[in-house]
Structure 1
Amino acid sequence: MSDVQTDAAGEAVLGANRPLLLTDPMRSWQVVRGVVELFAIGGESDPPTARLHIATVTTGERLFGVADDAGIRLLAVGGVDTVVRARTIDEDAATDRLAWIGVLADADGGTPESADAASDPDPLARLIAAVHRRRAEIEAEGVARVRAQRGGRASAMTGALDGLRALVDRQDPIPVTADDDDPVDAAFAVVATSLGLTSTAPPAGRGSADRVTLLARYARVRTRRVTLTGDWWRQDSGPMIGFLADGHRPVALVPRGATRYELVDPRARSRVVVNATIAATVEPDAVVVYRPLPDGPLTIGGLLRSALVHTRSDVAWLVAYAIASALIALVVPIVTGRIVGVVIPEADVPELVQLTLALAIAAIAAALFQYATATAVVRTQGRLDGYLVPAVWGRLLSLPTAFFRRYSAGDLAVRVQSVDAMVRVVGSGAVVALLGVATAVVSLALIWFYSVSFGIIATLLVAALGVVVWFAGRAQYRRAQAVERTAGQLSGLVLEFVSGISKLRVAGADEKAFGRWAERFRARRVAWNDVRRAQNVVTVSIAVFPVLSSLVLFAVVGLSEPDAISAGVFLAINAAFGQVVAAVVSITLVVTQLVQAAPAMKRMVPVIAEVPEDDASKTDPGVLRGAVDYSGVTFRYLEDGPVVLDDVSIRIPAGSSVALVGPSGSGKSTLGRLLLGFEVPEEGGIYLDDQDLAGLDLRAVRRQLGVVLQSVEPLPGSILSNILGDAVDLTIDDAWRAAERAGLAEDLRAMPMGMHTVITEGGSTLSGGQRQRLLIARALAGDPRVLLFDEATSALDNVTQSIVAESLAALSVTRIVIAHRLSTVRDADRIYYLERGRVLESGSFDELMALGGRFAAQAQRQLA
């Protein structure tokens, strides 16, 4: 990078491989042709560093040198065919000097201080400081980048080695995490992997005091807080997230088998089997994570397949136990035939001792296999119950609101509880049937081996019983369907009567209600009696089958030739057929249980076949600003029903206040239900911050809405739990602040237990105004982006309503108020008057009153 050679005219050619060091402050260079890229590099005594681009100098402009002791050096790199001409300082014009000073002054990033290049007292000093500052930044960035690259390579290598080790250990590899990742995320990822799920990190900015709950929300799984007591690691309670007592570091607690847990520490990248010593290092509080049902509609078969995913090893062992038990069962008929046919006639005492010992060993082995089978059944039932029950209830809670209009609450409860019948049938009945089938097949094969004719007879007898059970089972199934249907209707009716007992008393309809109950109860009893009659046919058949089948066998022997079959062979066949009869009877009993449970399981299909509203295809809305837009919305509750909303378009800017008014049945509350995603418009759409609500995660949307609806009542529990709900990042201070805004704080302070006052279902211990203020406090607690109030202040007096109105006006949130009360809507930025599902008038209160239309007429009635 020494000075370039010039020709007679003082010109030189610059290029990428022929740069020019500007080290002579008394000399300059004018760009004759092309462009020159100007770079700053370190001083001659400094270690080599990367070039720092300063400026681009074009044709006609000049370059000036910098002294060696300035702390930096300037390097000029030419483009293609770039030519510069050497000049002396005396030849330079003052304007070129000022332009060069501007280049130097702007090199520090265009800060305001360097805006006036001509008046800069020391542009070179500014350039030097800027270059050194930028060099330090680049070096820091380089160090950080190198560290990140090394960390990434190390993490990748660690992850690859863990994956290879997992192939040998048959364990899930520990997820690789960066040092700055939240340790809860890593522990949650381990638990999610053990459940066959993918952990989804929340979007940036979504902090929470409870990171586990936040992760569970975005992974769309359910969690439950538990206390680890006793020898908790000796029973399978599902995968959990625990915390080490030393430093509260999160770890994953993953079950490995029925009686063993493994502690996985993602940060330390270690696994250890939990024992009493390890358990002592874990805090008693943990969070159980439940595996949800697969997305999309499911059938009973699909539900069973998803349930058996994590029980395949148990199923394999059960099949092995069934085959082993069936083979052991062959010992009895074989030994019986041998003793009667050979040992007794020949008085072979040594062989008798051997055969007796064989029977004893077989009995012990059968007992051990029976115990192992029973243990596996209990374990399988526990796993099925631990997965199916919370998963089905979780599916029910995630279904669209429109689904619940089709069924009563009591009927849905009966349908979901059918999962218990499924667990019993699959966990116990299926195992009994498997053992029975294995024993029956093996014993029948032994009969065929001894005698083909007796094999045919035994097969025909079993087939005859099967035909009887088939027809009786079909009749039982049809009647059982009626039992389950009437049971659901009866349960729904009883729940309605109990929840509305005060209304029945006021209306004097007690006797009428009892009459309706008696009618449904009688229908259920009639259907149940029909089921019992069909079941009695099966019971009688399996009672007489052993006797009739033995009679047939003995009759065949009696009618056969004297030497057709020996006594030993016949007794072996008889013993084997006895095992076949016992196995067939057990199978028949399981079939009877299945016939009774099948209608109940079938009634569960609507719950699992309905697609959840928060499926994986929905996107997160992010942090909402609060803009709401109803665009050409048309809606009806039934396909062939009347139009409730007809081409309604309402645009609500973020932070504004809008009131929806009109006569009852005009569609005001329906607009609120559409905004909450409870209903889906037939035409048009609802947009939040220009995002189509149909494509958003409704749970994430609702968490940013504060809602008070007409029909909502407080939940049983404390006032604190009612205000905070399931918001994991809110505290009691947030509850008091919300209570102040809702005008409820003074009432709470007058209560002996304050925030911890317990209320009953429906909040009957509170006045109507207190209930409404409690619901308003709950809506305000989470600092929502949009408030939706549907007749939320109808029970408040004017003073309390003014307190609430002032609190709402101070909030920078979008407010949508549905009300008939004039004082509630008077201060709204814009009022929409609806009638018969259409917007007839809109404007401010003064504008609508001046218009003298339908709103003014309604307002005049209240003002009068």
Structure 2
Amino acid sequence: MACVAMAAALAGSNIDLNWLRQRYPVSARGSNLKDIITISNSVGMSSRAVRCELDEIDDLKVPSILHWGLKHFVVFSGRKGKKYKVFDPAKGYVFLSIQDMSRKFTGVALELSPSPGFQKRVERSPLGLGGIIRLSPEVKRGLLHALILSIVAQIYVSASPFYLQMAIDNAAMKGDEDLLRTLALGFAGFAVINAGAEAFRAVIFQKVAALLNWDMTVRLFHHMVRLPLPWFQRRRLADTNSRFQSIDPIRNLISNGVVGAVIDGALSVVTVVMMFVFSPALSIVTLAGLAVYVLVRLAWLPLSRKYAANALQASIAEQGKRLETLRAIQTIKAMGGESEREGNWANKFADTIRAGQENALIANGFQICQRTIDVLITIVVIYLGVLAIIKNTMSIGILYAFISYRTQFNARITNLVDQVISARMLSLYTFRLADIVLTPAEDDAERSRPDLGNIQGLVEAENIYFQYGPMDRLVLRNVNLRVEPGEFVAIVGPSGAGKSTLMKVLSGLYPPTAGEIRLDGLPLATWGVKLIRRNLGIVMQDDELLPGSIAENVSFFDEDLDMDKVWRCLSMVCIDKEVDRMPMKAETFVGDMGSTLSGGQKQRILLARALYKDPKILLLDEATSHLDVETERSINKTLTSLNITRIVIAHRKETIQVADRLIRLERC
């Protein structure tokens, strides 16, 4: 997907990758060349698949998409000297030698070119800081107070160089001690007032930063957890986590005083005016130095962005490998693969260190340029100033005052420029955040009968089709079923027939590609996903216990936990006696890889969690597969007495035999 977006951009059609992902969602299985051709054609690019040897790669049209390392795609965009310029979605632009190309290029390429009628366009939903930061009334009040205090501080900043000028020209040169004392006392009092204003301003800025950080981070998490389930399943956990963490640089920018820098930068206009009052010539030199600094900063920006992106990608890859290792540590130990896994992680970590060093070298290089510019401009200012003193066109006090103004101006303006450039650099992170923010959340409408106690439990599926992506094969094809209230239906069929997928479609976790699911005769959209899931009991194959006590997991961390109800649910799934024998009983800690529960115990607690909601409909995906026959029979007997609708995926004959009806699914 990223390769198609980059190829289209090289042809002049700047298509946003997030827009492309929403239009052509790719499953976790990835894409093949046929999928890429389909997507390319849809954005107005003609394509031609070719097979070529490495020595023929110069003959390929640019851009071309190359099959890379048997499991990846990159964009070839030309040759520069002896290096080949390649865009790798995982690394950005890289320049590779013929040896590097030989190791990765499989010989399959897709030449792309604008088709007739190709239009240069921008189809994107850009995510700027305005889409992330929201100014609440409290934040606006804080900014107003900070502005007032900044004006007070600016008055002191503007007046303090006068102390130098008057102390030198009027007091020191004339030997007037009384004037010197008066100036010292007056400016000392002014300094105390300024210190108070600065202290209050700092407190306000911290409060504003905290409010902004809290608001945008909470809103981002609120939106993320409400994204559709397929969005999460198409991404690795480490990738999803890194996208959420992309909010951190924005929070750091705010916490590091970007608001104060903007206010101080704006108020520095007063300082510039005072500089021109003292010496127009030296002021022009100072502004010329600032212009040079800004030009160098802008010229350095693409390089900084490139190496920052490389460091970010390397860090994401390392974090992903580390997280995957920790999650699969039991399997790794069972397979004796600690050394191999350590080696894989070490390679990623080495890439992170190397990318971090390169990024630091670029930053250090700019700092050296910055200091050099500042020193050279300072030398010119002092030279011209002293020359003016020699010619009696400027006093020593005025030169001291001007240098003071210049120091204040440089500090504030360079800080403002740095903050603005940092904001520009945030596009590295806002691009990743856009994948979360610009993806629509699930429909949360609650348009239903207010009394859900009247639900009867009738479930209907009409002409259901489902595929994970527009280019994936159908998993469900024309599925129709009707389950009456209180009926027990077992769904059977070979592995890969779509039984678990059907269960997720029935629960609203997956929206059907075509067809309609109805509950009590009303479409799921009418009920709203929140109300449906609040009143369905669901246990899937890969469900997990969360870190917490058994009671908290059964109640799903209900703030008004009903302990009697918890024990009733544990009793219904035949685990109450086992829990009672535990030292901490229902307060025993479970979950998050630290659980000492067996597979069967875990399944029963998950089932108790589903029953705690008093559901009218129970959806179970092999929820008793780890239980012995006698325990499973007892649980089925208890569930039958509840008179609730049950739709169960089962392979064991003990469950199938007690079902009222069987529904068999076959592979599409």
Match of 1:381 among 206, 209, 214: 209
CA distance in 2, matches of 1:415, 1:530: 23
Show the 5 A alignment for 1:114-513: 299-434=127-262, 436-438=264-266, 440-513=268-341
SS at match of 2:168: helix
SS at match of 1:306: coil
Q: Hey, what does 1:575 align to over in structure 2?
A: 404
CA distance in 1, matches of 2:131, 2:254: 12
- 5+ unaligned residues in a row in structure 1: which ranges? 1-296, 838-864
8 A Cα contact 1:307 1:387, kept in partner: no
Larger radius of gyration, structure 1 or 2? 1
Aligned-pair CA distance for 1:532: 0.6
Q: Choose 434-443 or 495-504, whichever is displaced more.
A: 434-443
Aligned-pair CA distance for 1:342: 4.0
8 A Cα contact 2:589 2:595, kept in partner: no
8 A Cα contact 1:432 1:586, kept in partner: no
Match of 2:380 among 539, 552, 574: 552
8 A Cα contact 2:268 2:412, kept in partner: yes
SS at match of 1:835: coil
1:633 aligns with 2:633: no
CA distance in 1, matches of 2:255, 2:296: 26
Amino acid at match of 1:580: F
1:494-533 deviation per Cα after TM superposition (whole angstroms, max 9, x unaligned): 1111111111122333233223212322222222122111
8 A Cα contact 1:707 1:779, kept in partner: yes
8 A Cα contact 1:785 1:814, kept in partner: yes
1:723-767 deviation per Cα after TM superposition (whole angstroms, max 9, x unaligned): 111345551221222122212223223333332222343574222
Amino acid at match of 2:658: D
8 A Cα contact 1:657 1:828, kept in partner: yes
Match of 2:604 among 773, 787, 799: 773
1:66-117 deviation per Cα after TM superposition (whole angstroms, max 9, x unaligned): xxxxxxxxxxxxxxxxxxxxxxxxxxxxxxxxxxxxxxxxxxxxxxxxxxxx
Give the 3 Å change call, closer, same or farther, for CA 583–306 of structure 1 in structure 2. closer
Match of 1:612 among 410, 416, 441: 441
Structure ranking higher in helix proportion? 2
Show the 5 A alignment for 1:55-70: none
1:798 aligns with 2:629: yes
CA distance in 2, matches of 1:487, 1:699: 36
Amino acid at match of 2:252: R
Q: Hey, what does 2:494 align to over in structure 1?
A: 663
Aligned-pair CA distance for 1:562: 1.3
1:686 aligns with 2:530: no
8 A Cα contact 1:705 1:788, kept in partner: yes
Give the 3 Å change call, closer, same or farther, for CA 653–727 of structure 1 in structure 2. farther
Match of 1:721 among 524, 534, 552: 552
8 A Cα contact 2:446 2:531, kept in partner: no
Amino acid at match of 2:572: R
SS at match of 1:610: coil
1:342-369 deviation per Cα after TM superposition (whole angstroms, max 9, x unaligned): 4444444444333333322332222112
CA distance in 1, matches of 2:327, 2:207: 39
Q: Hey, what does 1:698 align to over in structure 2?
A: 529
1:523-547 deviation per Cα after TM superposition (whole angstroms, max 9, x unaligned): 2222212211121123223434443
CA distance in 2, matches of 1:534, 1:525: 14
Aligned-pair CA distance for 1:802: 0.9
Amino acid at match of 2:408: Q
CA distance in 2, matches of 1:619, 1:804: 35
CA distance in 2, matches of 1:565, 1:715: 75
CA distance in 1, matches of 2:183, 2:266: 24
Amino acid at match of 1:506: A
CA distance in 2, matches of 1:613, 1:569: 66
Match of 1:731 among 534, 546, 562: 562
Amino acid at match of 1:471: A
CA distance in 2, matches of 1:406, 1:489: 17
SS at match of 1:726: coil
1:685-704 deviation per Cα after TM superposition (whole angstroms, max 9, x unaligned): 11111222134321221111
CA distance in 2, matches of 1:729, 1:342: 76
Give the 3 Å change call, closer, same or farther, for CA 325–445 of structure 1 in structure 2. same
Q: Hey, what does 1:742 align to over in structure 2?
A: 573
8 A Cα contact 1:326 1:435, kept in partner: no
8 A Cα contact 1:377 1:428, kept in partner: no
Give the 3 Å change call, closer, same or farther, for CA 326–729 of structure 1 in structure 2. closer
CA distance in 2, matches of 1:763, 1:650: 41
8 A Cα contact 2:618 2:646, kept in partner: yes
Give the 3 Å change call, closer, same or farther, for CA 475–436 of structure 1 in structure 2. farther
Aligned-pair CA distance for 1:596: 6.4
8 A Cα contact 2:134 2:216, kept in partner: no
8 A Cα contact 1:686 1:692, kept in partner: yes
SS at match of 2:579: helix
For the aligned residue pairs, the C-alpha RMSD in angstroms reads 2.5
Aligned-pair CA distance for 1:620: 4.2
8 A Cα contact 1:472 1:535, kept in partner: no
Identity of aligned pairs, percent?
28
CA distance in 2, matches of 1:359, 1:752: 71
1:800-848 deviation per Cα after TM superposition (whole angstroms, max 9, x unaligned): 11101111111121100111122212232221111114xxxxxxxxxxx
8 A Cα contact 1:654 1:813, kept in partner: yes
Give the 3 Å change call, closer, same or farther, for CA 309–438 of structure 1 in structure 2. same
8 A Cα contact 1:542 1:585, kept in partner: no
8 A Cα contact 1:385 1:420, kept in partner: no
8 A Cα contact 1:490 1:517, kept in partner: yes
SS at match of 2:333: helix
Give the 3 Å change call, closer, same or farther, for CA 776–822 of structure 1 in structure 2. same
SS at match of 1:365: helix
Give the 3 Å change call, closer, same or farther, for CA 669–317 of structure 1 in structure 2. same
Match of 1:825 among 632, 650, 656: 656
Aligned-pair CA distance for 1:776: 1.5
Between 1 and 2, higher relative CO (CA 8 Å, sep ≥ 6) is seen in: 2
CA distance in 1, matches of 2:559, 2:173: 82
8 A Cα contact 1:730 1:782, kept in partner: no
8 A Cα contact 2:621 2:650, kept in partner: yes
SS at match of 2:134: helix
Amino acid at match of 2:501: T
**Could you tell me the TM-score, scaled by structure 1's length?**
0.59
SS at match of 1:399: coil
CA distance in 2, matches of 1:482, 1:696: 46
8 A Cα contact 2:633 2:654, kept in partner: no
8 A Cα contact 1:659 1:819, kept in partner: yes
SS at match of 2:257: helix
Q: Hey, what does 2:413 align to over in structure 1?
A: 584
- 5+ unaligned residues in a row in structure 2: which ranges? 1-124
Q: Hey, what does 1:535 align to over in structure 2?
A: 363
Aligned-pair CA distance for 1:637: 0.7
SS at match of 2:511: coil
Aligned-pair CA distance for 1:317: 1.5
Give the 3 Å change call, closer, same or farther, for CA 352–510 of structure 1 in structure 2. same
Match of 2:432 among 603, 617, 639: 603
